[in-house]
Structure formats: C-alpha cells, structure tokens
A and B are shown apart, each in its own frame.
Chain A
Amino acid sequence: MRAARALATFDDVELGDHICWHPDSADASPAGVLAYVADGALYGDKIVVVGAAGAVSGLPRDAVPSASVILDSPRTADLDSFLAAVRREARTAAREGYRSVRVLTERAPAAASGGAEELVAQELKLDEFASESNAIVVCAFRPSQWDGPTLEHVTGVHPHEMGIRAERPAFRMYSAGADVWSVDGVIDSEGADAFNTAVRAAVRFSPKVNLRFDTLELIDAAGMHALVDAARHLPDRRIVVEGANDTVRLCWELAGYASAGLPVVMAA
C-alpha cells in the first residue's frame, strides 16, 4: 500500500516512489542525486535519465553508470513518447534481470507548454507508471524556473517529496490502482484549485474514476465544490469516493451534494 511521505535523503527511496524534488531549494544536496544514481547500481536498478545527463539536475555524464539509458530525444518532450520510452526501458530492465528502473527527469517549463492541467496529467501518468511497475521516479522541478501556483499543482500529484513536506497544497493525490487515486491530507480553499486540476486531469483518462479518501483528514466547501466542478468538466464522467471518514461524509451531505444526479457519489 503506497502512502504519502517526505524523504530526508535519497537513501530513503523505495520501490514505487514518485518523488518531487526541488534541486535548488535550501535543503537540496548536490551530492544527493549522485547517491541516487550510485544506489541504483547497489540495489540492481537500471538508471534511466530523461534529458541530456548534464542538463538533469547537474548530473555529470561520467557519474552515470555505463549500463544506464539516457533518453534525450526531442520526442521525449511529448508525454506519450516519454512514457512509452520509459515503459519500454522498464520492460527491458526486467528482462535483463534488474530489480527495477530508477528514473530521473528534470521538468522544464519550456517542455510543459500545455499549462498546469497538462503537466499534472503527465505527472499522474508517471505516478501510475511508478505504482504499477514498482519503478522509482524522481521529478526535478527547479523553483526558480516555475511559478508558485504551478509548483503547488505538481507537488499535489507527487506522493513523495525530498525534504520537508510542502504545506501547500495540503493534499497529495496519487495512484492506488487502475483509475483509482488516493487523496491524502487536507483539501481546503488554499488547495482547492490544485485539487480541481488534479481531478480534471484524472477524469481525462477514464470516464469512471475512484477516489480513495481513507487518509483524507478534511475537505472544506471549496474542496467539495472543486471536486464536483472537475467531475462536471467533461461529459459523462463519474467519480466514486470511497473510504471517507464520518466528518467528510457528513460535510458532503450537509453541503447538499448527496443528492441524486451528481456525477460524484460519496459511498458509505
């Protein structure tokens, strides 16, 4: 069972982790990424670097093990090509006897021209890949290159992060199976936009989505509205919320959303 958590160092990574990393933040260590790559060899994981090695978080090319794969084709800027390439490498790694793959990618604004929702959709797909294949995926986002709201949106769809867990957004949404997404933490008015974007991205992939609220502490009126709005964003969508605590279910009913006809259903 995956769970959201913060990692003190790259030593703490586990199979299936999808980690948000801010390389130029105060708590980032330049040696950290080297350790992440070096540990790949130690644990029998194949290293997959997306982008030219020198452009990924300052990782020197000679620090990359010879058996590593560097995906720096311009086509990998496209999500589908990127995911297809990474999945192919994961399958190859399995055949070659590796335990798993360790993906390191640096996301750049220039490559994310589709806006926050497109970027979040890509991260959800990456998260699903990490969850399904037990891969470790580290996504580097330099805060100096991104605006604050976009960083919050992408942070919300990484279950794991280096350093102290960012306070905003106060939720994390991540894959818990095919078309099933766990939501952890708190969805309040400060995170409602990011949550709306995450759910909109999730319902792109499937007309029926399950949200697991088992570890969601609280959702406020803005959060509930964000959920309903996202479900209504595309036609014929249906979201089933399961595992919500008593207070969340009470608030849903009190807010008037328990009526029939809504595309969001709060299961008992």
Chain B
Amino acid sequence: MTTVPPANIPPANPSDGARPPFRHELYPYRGDGQFLSGTLGYIHEALEGGEAVVVAVPSDKASLLRRELGDESAVTFVDTTTLGPNPGRLVGAWVAWMKERGEGDRPVRGIGETAWREARSAAHLSELRYHEWLLNRAFARSSAWSMLCPYDDADDDRSALESLSRCHPLIRQDGHFVRNEGYLTAEEYPFEVLNPPCDPFQELSFTHGDLAAVRAKVSRCASDAGVTEEQQRKLAVAVTEIATNSIRHGGGRGTLRTWTQDATFLCEFRDAGYIPDVMAGRTRPTVDQVGGRGLWLAQQLCDLVEIRSTRDQGTTIRLHVDVPH
C-alpha cells in the first residue's frame, strides 16, 4: 500500500468547483473503539464540508454511532436488511439513498458495513465481494459521492481481508486514506469458478416458443424442492426474463439446469451471448427505458444471482432461491 500524503488529496469540497473522484475506502478495525474513531472521523470530515452522510451498518454499530451523533440531521441511517439477502440489490439501493440525500448537488458520503459473518454460502460471500468491486464502477462518474466500508477484522482472517481489500482502491488508516496497491484495476473481475451442479440435476434445452416449458420445468422442480408458492411466482418472472435474454441475445437458445444444494434451489441458464455491461441489472430502470429490465427484475426477485459472461464462453446465470426450513 502507498500512503497518500494529505497534501496530495483533493479537498472534499474544493473552492475551484472541481470535485474529487469517487473515493471508496476500506476501513479495517478491531473493536468498538476503533470502529467509532474511524467512522466518526469520516463523518466529521463530511459535516465540516457541508456534506450529507448515509450510514448502512449492522444495528449494533448503528446504535453506537447514534449515541455519539445525537440528532445530527445531516446523517441518515438506513437498514440494508430490508433489501433482502441479495447483494445484487445494493448498488441500486445506494444510488437511491445517495441521490435522495444529495438533492441540490450536495456531496454525499456513505458508510457501508457488510455483516460478513452472516454470509450464507461461498456464493453469497463471493457476490458480496463483487458488489464492493462494482461500487467503483457504479459511482466512477459520481464525483459528489464517496464511501467508507468498515470491516471488522477481529477474526484476524488475513485471507478474507486480502480478498476484500482488492475491491477497494483506498484503505483508511489512522484518519487518512492510503492508496491500495493490491486493488484490482483490471477491466474484468476475477470471479471464483462456479461449482458444478449438484447431482441429480434436471436439464432442459430451450429456444423460441419454449418459455412456457421453461416455467413449467422450473415450477415442478421448485415445488419438489420445497420452494413456497410466493417464491415460485417470483421465480417464474425471473426465469422468464433470463430465458428471454437467452433467446433474444444469446444465440436464440439456451440450456436450463435446476438442482438443490443445501437449503438453496438453483436455476442455471447457459447461452452463447455476452453481457458486456457489468452494471446490467444493478440500477433501477427509468420509466422511459425501453429494455434492460430483465436482469434488474431477476436481482430483485431472487435471493442471489450469479452472472458469469465472457466473449469466449458465453453467459451463465444462476438464480438462487432460499428454501424454507
């Protein structure tokens, strides 16, 4: 890591009108004391610069901050648990929160701490990390916004911290941020390889005219797996969208596989298409937008969505639905 001297850091609210680029900082801490010192320092910087702050941290951490901040009106607390478990919904939520608080072109800072220990699976953990990497893309052109990501390092898990830090261009230490030399600057995110489907899995090849067959297959398998009727209705929309994308943009055909793994029902779609936009489906569509709603709906309706897409190997999308115990 390279320390960035404060003199080289653009001011948060410069007088010449130019604004710094989006700052995305990881803040590893241990204990409540370090959490408070780091986050309060970040918040006070914001308040001194006339910026608003949006805080999305676990409830116990939110209580600590609330006690310190009192009724500071420039700070808004939001609850990410209302979004559900899918990290694919977080970018859209942050965009909305930042826009809401940044009315009138007011700069906004976010503080977002993920409850990493509550990750439900390796796939969930992987998508949480990917979300952190995507934030750099999502807000790359949003100079009015910046984000601090506190990370509870109490477990001293070097590997976990290293994986996460690669998604943050900056690290906060002792009240300053330093440039993270280990940050992934490549255009493509180095995803973990998807595990093969669990045996036994069901498979269906589909093409134009087969949407009803796709829904029927998924409905039967989901019902057998114990997916609730309400979940099935949402899943029916999601699989319709993804299968439609395969037919329209993925070479006119695709392959569906379904299986159950632990307490998750999965639908996997493979086709020959390529999704070049890593932000596809991550931001809320506008009312006049003609297309681009399919992946967004899938992210909102499923408990986890994994998307792997390359020019060479085509696209694989896995829709996860948590099966009630």
Contacts and interface: CB of A to CB of B under 8 A. Distances in A.
Interface string B197-241: 000000000001101100100000000000000100110110011
A254 B244 contact: no
A262 B215 CA distance: 30
Given A189-B240, A245-B233, A255 B209 contact: no
Interface in B281-320: 284-287, 289-291, 293-294, 296-297, 300-301
Contact of B240 (A220, A225, A257, A261): A220
B30 interface: no
B137 interface: no
Given A190-B211, A245-B233, A256 B248 contact: no
A189 B248 contact: yes
A221 B209 contact: no
Interface in B29-46: none
Contacts of B247: 189
B244 A225 contact: no
A257 B287 contact: yes
Contact of B212 (A186, A247, A250): A186
A217 B216 CA distance: 13
Nearest to A225: B290
Interface residues of A, number: 26
Contacts of A135: none
Nearest to A191: B211
Interface string A80-97: 000000000000000000
Interface string A206-223: 000000000001101110
A116 B215 CA distance: 28
Contact of B293 (A167, A170, A217, A221): A221
A6 interface: no
Given A189-B240, A189-B244, A221-B241, A256 B289 contact: yes
Interface in A171-196: 186, 188-190
Given A189-B211, A221-B294, A255-B297, A247 B285 contact: no
B219 to A, nearest CB: 11
Given A189-B211, A218-B233, A259-B287, A254 B240 contact: no
A109 to B, nearest CB: 23
A142 interface: no
A118 to B, nearest CB: 26
A237 interface: no
Contact of B286 (A167, A217, A221, A256): A256
Nearest to A221: B293
Nearest to A229: B290
Contacts of A224: 293
A188 B240 CA distance: 7
A168 interface: yes
Contacts of A246: 230, 233
A256 B285 contact: yes
A176 B300 CA distance: 33
Nearest to B235: A247
Interface string B173-197: 0000000000000000000000000
Contacts of B285: 255-256
B244 A188 contact: yes
A230 to B, nearest CB: 14
Contacts of B244: 188-189, 220, 222
A266 interface: no
A168 B211 CA distance: 10
Interface in B248-303: 248, 284-287, 289-291, 293-294, 296-297, 300-301
A227 B290 CA distance: 12
A218 B232 CA distance: 11
A257 B212 CA distance: 25
B216 to A, nearest CB: 10
Given A188-B211, A190-B211, A251 B248 contact: no
B237 A251 contact: yes
B287 A262 contact: yes
B287 A254 contact: no
Given A168-B209, A190-B209, A259-B287, A218 B297 contact: no
Nearest to B284: A256
Given A188-B211, A250-B301, A251-B237, 4 more contacts: A220-B237, A221-B294, A247-B233, A255-B296
23 contacts: A167-B212, A170-B211, A170-B212, A188-B240, A189-B247, A190-B208, A217-B236, A218-B236, A218-B237, A220-B240, A220-B241, A221-B241, A221-B291, A225-B291, A246-B233, A247-B237, A251-B301, A254-B297, A254-B301, A255-B297, A256-B287, A256-B293, A262-B287
Interface of B: 208-209, 211-212, 215, 230, 233-234, 236-237, 240-241, 244, 247-248, 284-287, 289-291, 293-294, 296-297, 300-301
Lowest 8 CB-CB distances: which A-B pairs, in order?
A221-B293, A247-B233, A189-B244, A256-B285, A220-B240, A254-B300, A256-B287, A255-B293
